[in-house]
Amino acid sequence: MTAYQALTERFQRLSRLNHLSAIAGWDMQTMMPHGGSDARGEALAELSVMHHEILVQQTTGELLAQAQNEGLDDDQLANLREMARQYTDAALLPAELVEAKALAGSRCEQAWRQQRIDNDWQGFQRNLVPVVDLARQEAQLRAQKLGGSPYDALLNLYEPGMTSQRLDTIFGDLTQWLPELLQEVVAKQPPLAPSQTTRIFPISQQQALAQAVMQRLDFNFDHGRLDISAHPFCGGVPTDVRITTRYDTQEFLSALMGVIHETGHARYEQNLPSQWSGQPIALARSTAIHESQSLFFEMQLGRSTSFLKGLHPLICQNLTAATDLTLNDLVQQVQRVAPGLIRVDADEVSYPAHVILRYEIERALINAEIEVSDIPELWDEKMQRYLGLSTAGNYRDGCMQDIHWTDGSFGYFPTYTLGAMYAAQLFNAMRDQQPESETAIATGDLAPTFNWLKENIWQHGSRYSVDNLIQQATGETLNPHWFKRHLEQRYLGR
């Protein structure tokens, strides 16, 4: 057996452990009774340690070195590169830290579910402090080895090669033009149709609508399912993708758009290269690329007037309280721009402000420039600066609204806006390369769109770097110009 073959067997075993962890984690957030949280957290921590110990064995490093000289083809070399990246990332951490992080994250996330409902910042802060302390320890270990700031070391886990310096340039440019654009869009909007707040949209009807829309988006129900959770997410594995949303009987669009968003994640997972299943090359390229697919579905496609024409009959058929909803009213509601407190409900114009706010806070937090106790005041200050809204005393809809920090996912938030930029660039390239795709969307034919995504993004997994993947698909690396142009065209008609 060659060194490379031995590595593929080892990473296949690691993939199976990830499979178990993913499904157990999904169950923890959807089906598991509250009383099972401690034991489940311990079990998931045990899986994390087992995965870590297998990955960082001395023989893994030796096999990686030997395999470099075995005459591998391009795909095998790409797989070997990703193996080495996973090994390096894991080898920087002791098993004790891996276990401690998993346990602290599980405790914090489970407690957060009720603490957010109760607006209990003090209780949440007590659980978040150890999560942040452990994240700082991890960041320091990684930064000492890899260079750069502690925050950059965590950012690299989600978006390989990205740095806060580059983000500061991208987001700095964004903050120069976004506030004025947001004001202009809000001022230009027509008045909304009469309020429908007294209407009731039963959850069962919303679920039926969600299933119908997922079918239209070609979600494979033989390899996935839709459930309810406190925070919408996509989890599981490519052969068993689990997505969730949350429902509000007073309105249906937030749940529906959440489903479209998560279906974008799911379609990417379901179309990753199956011939490399179980190997690192078969994984999604990066978090921003993953977010680009969900935002391609939700923002570029799902909120377009063309797509909404086909969505409108499904809404009227499935929701009794929406039978008199006109297409024009639907488009106005879906494309409504109004700064709000909740990130996941934000329109695509104001959404980047939510991301930049979180990025600035978590970067300062991991770099030990602020403490957990400083978060609420900073959050309120930045909400007022970027969106003109206050969250003073409202922790539920302020700094406690997201699940990400509860398990130590620092470095994740910037990928949402990077993903929005990639999505706009990809959609523009698709229209240029096959103009018929946009016409097809208006008639309900989404096959050209999905075929283009599969050819240019989905089938490649992690074969290429982010820059190379986007360069091949669009002819250039990340160019925020296309995001600005998209917003101006949709909301200002320029």
Task: Return the pLDDT at 194.
Answer: 65
User: What pLDDT was estimated at residue 193?
Assistant: 67
User: Any idea which residues carry the catalytic annotation?
Assistant: 262
Sheet arrangement for strand 234-237: 224-228, 240-245, 234-237
81 and 155 share a domain?
no
Residue 106 lies inside a defined structural domain of this protein: no
40 and 165 belong to one structural domain: no
Average pLDDT value for residue range 235-260:
95
C-alpha dihedral (281, 284, 289, 291), degrees to nearest 10: -170
Does 378 reside within a domain?
Answer: yes
Structure tokens at 237: 């594995």
- Average pLDDT, integer, range 252-280: 97
Predicted local confidence at residue 384, as pLDDT: 95
Same domain, 377 and 451: yes
Q: Same domain for 436 and 311?
A: yes
The alpha carbon dihedral of 379, 381, 383, 385 has a sign of negative
Give the H/E segment covering residue 69: none
CA–CA distance from 1 to each of 4, 56, 60, 212 (Å)?
8, 20, 15, 49
Q: What's the pLDDT tens digit per position in 189-198? A: 888 766 545 7
| 18 belongs to a structural domain | yes
Task: Check residue 15 and give its pLDDT.
Answer: 97
- 102 inside domain: no
Position 146 scores a pLDDT of 87
Question: 38 and 147 share a domain?
Answer: no
- Indicate if 307 and 417 belong to the same structural domain: yes
What is the distance between the alpha carbons of residues 329 and 321, in angstroms, rounded to a whole number? 14
* 128/276 same-domain check: yes
Q: What is the pTM of this model?
A: 0.94
Q: Does position 482 have pLDDT exceeding 60, yes or no? A: yes
Asked if 305 and 385 sit in the same domain, the reply is yes
Q: Are residues 208 and 273 in the same domain?
A: yes
Checking if the pLDDT of 171 tops 60, the result is yes
Q: What's the pLDDT at 195? A: 57
Residue 132 in domain: yes
**Confidence (pLDDT) at 251:** 93
Asked whether residue 255 falls in the same domain as residue 152, the answer is yes
H/E segment holding residue 394:
none
Structure tokens at 390: 């206050």
Specify the number of domains making up the chain. 2
Lookup: tokens for 441:
């969307």
Domain boundary among 36, 69, 91: 91
Q: Is the pLDDT of residue 298 over 70?
A: yes
At 37-92, the pLDDT tens digits run 889 989 998 999 999 999 999 999 999 999 999 999 999 999 999 999 999 999 99
Q: Is residue 330 part of a domain?
A: yes
The verdict on 481 and 419 lying in the same domain is yes
Give the rounded distance of the alpha carbon of 176 from its chain centre: 25
Residue 343 within any structural domain of the chain: yes
**Any domain includes 66:** yes
Q: For 210-246, write each residue's pLDDT tens digit.
A: 999 999 999 999 999 999 998 889 999 999 999 999 9
Q: Tell me the pLDDT of the chain averaged across its residues.
A: 95
pLDDT 10s digits, 387-445: 999 999 999 999 999 999 999 999 999 999 999 999 999 999 999 999 999 889 988 89
Amino acid sitting at position 258: G
Which 8-state DSSP code applies to residue 251? B
Provide the pLDDT for residue 191: 80
The DSSP string of 303-346 is TSHHHHHHHHHHHHHH-GGGTT--HHHHHHHHT-----S-GGG-
For residue 310, what are the domain limits? Answer: 124-494
- CA atoms of 139 and 92, how far apart (whole Å): 10
**Same-domain pairing of 71 and 131:** no
Average pLDDT over residues 162-181: 95
